[in-house]
Structure 1
Amino acid sequence: MQDYRILITRPEPENTLSRERLGALGWNTVPLPMLEIAPIQDADQLAAIRAQVFDINEFDYVIFVSKNAARIACDWLDMCWPMLPSGVQWIGIGQGTTSTLQSEGVPALSNPGHTTETLLAWLAPAKMRHSKVLIVRGMGGRPELGEKLEERGAKVSYLSLYQRKKPDYVAQTFFMLPDIQLIWVTSGESLIHLSSYVEQHKPEWKVLPILTPSIRVNQQAKQMGWINAYCAHGADDNSLIKATEYLTGK
């Protein structure tokens, strides 16, 4: 597998962490983040975030949609809550997000799966009725989770902590890359950005095997012309590594 290279499209710092994990297992990796995570800087927005975090004890459930949401939220919790409020159920979507929270001292639980869809299946509808739910995410995140919870009778609020941006790459970036044999993509938004660049600069990549985190994103990849899209059933390293080993027979 010496000449086998995996393109990692996670945003930083997760990109570096995944590459370190794969390197320890003997895999060669190439970084090409397809999302940039930018913390909010606007003074008025920061003041609104601070106010929401101070009121976080009013919620029955606080749901974190990503490791970035968890990491940035923990910084805010440290500033506003020397001791975490009691009576709040902290939930991470996926084991990676939950582990990030737990490493910061937040006693979070994780749904058995790794996606919004499996979280909705896991949460008991009866318990959600009249519950106050805070969804911690990036600006402009997917609305499905909140909409489904509201259908169950929950009162949903959002705490948006960062912006997601498309990285700015030039043609030379792609011409200088080594040959790639496999691609990891960990969100639908990353897939959209990657596909846009590939159509411009690397159309031959559309035949490469590409691992996606969920059935939804896998279907999206196939619709966008990725011939060999496979579902890893999770955006965490363990799920993607297991799928990589299956595909390569390693």
Structure 2
Amino acid sequence: MAIAKLSDLRVLVTRPEDRSADFAAALRAAGAEVVLQPLLNIAPLTAAEHGAAMQKSHSILLNLDEYQRLIFISVNAVQFGVEQIEQYWPQWPVGIEVYAIGAATAAALADRDVTVHQRALAMNSESLLSCSGLQNVAKSKILIVRGVGGREYLAEELKKRGALVDYVECYQRCKPSIDGEQLREVVSARRVNMVALNSGETLSYFTELMGEEAFSYPILVPGARVEELARAQGYCSIVQAENAGTEASITALECYANNNTPI
């Protein structure tokens, strides 16, 4: 019989509802108890709030054939971005190279019959920037498909290499309708002893809702950048996964459970 490696963990999963199934299933398979409470939802843009961004995307996508490289930063970018692109280009422009951050993003593109030229091995911009196809990009036009208000690091680094970079912003991140009292009640009633926070945004929102009490919980975060944010906010018990993927997250939690100390 397989050993339930995470049987002592009761994990609060804060990923968007439609992005939590694989991680939750892997946690349960490893013996953990799962408490689902999204702290971030993903939604399409609305004309009332994002009219300017939508108009900019319209203009850019009409001229997609002018770009040499197209970067999808997440599964959400694929879900919303490919649909928009194919409204203008049922047949994609010839010669455009498609890049993906992480295996899940690459798989989502493959599911839509989009050929990925190269993908980042880890789920972050730093890994993507190491791809050979993004080294010599002087005077190349690169389009990044993302949500509203994402990180600027990727574009800034590509510009340093001489690229001309634009964005198509095709979805928004929304806070769910839960207040601090409700979240504290969930965490207390289910005796949560690990909080999985898959981005800097969910980390900050958990801190905002829970106040000082947040720092008493061990947290799982994806990568060094979010780990640094967590320490700056006041967290001490931090489990750092290599990235936000399910496999990396489970591996980090297994190390934590084996050692009973943050890694």
- Do both share a fold (TM > 0.5)? yes
Residue 187 in structure 1 maps to residue 199 in structure 2: yes
Residue aligned with 2:154, SS: helix
- Tell me, in whole angstroms, the C-alpha distance in 1 between the residues paired with 2:191 and 2:68: 49
Residue 67 of structure 1 is matched in structure 2 by 75
Q: CA deviation at 1:67?
A: 1.4
Percent identity between matched residues is: 31
Residue aligned with 2:192, SS: coil
Residue 152 of structure 2 is matched in structure 1 by 143
Q: CA deviation at 1:48?
A: 4.0
- Tell me, in whole angstroms, the C-alpha distance in 1 between the residues paired with 2:36 and 2:183: 11
Q: Any residues of structure 2 matched to 1:1-250 within 5 Å, and which?
A: 1-2=6-7, 4-42=9-47, 44=51, 45-108=53-116, 109-123=118-132, 126-170=135-179, 171-177=181-187, 178-199=190-211, 203=213, 205-249=214-258
Q: CA deviation at 1:40?
A: 0.7
Query: RMSD value over aligned CA atoms?
Result: 2.2
| Letter of the 1:6 counterpart | V
The question of whether the paired residues in 1 share the 8 Å contact of 2:7 and 2:33 is answered with: yes
Q: CA deviation at 1:182?
A: 1.4
- Tell me, in whole angstroms, the C-alpha distance in 2 between the residues paired with 1:181 and 1:83: 49
Deviation string 1:24-59 (CA, Å, 9 cap, x unpaired) is 444321112221212112074545434433322221
Deviation string 1:112-139 (CA, Å, 9 cap, x unpaired) is 2221122223356652111111011111
Deviation string 1:195-237 (CA, Å, 9 cap, x unpaired) is 111216xx0x423321211101101101111111122011111
Instruction: Count the aligned residue pairs.
Output: 247
The question of whether the paired residues in 1 share the 8 Å contact of 2:223 and 2:240 is answered with: yes
Change (3 A) 1:209 1:123: farther
Which consecutive unaligned segments of at least 5 residues does structure 2 have? 1-5
| Letter of the 2:138 counterpart | R
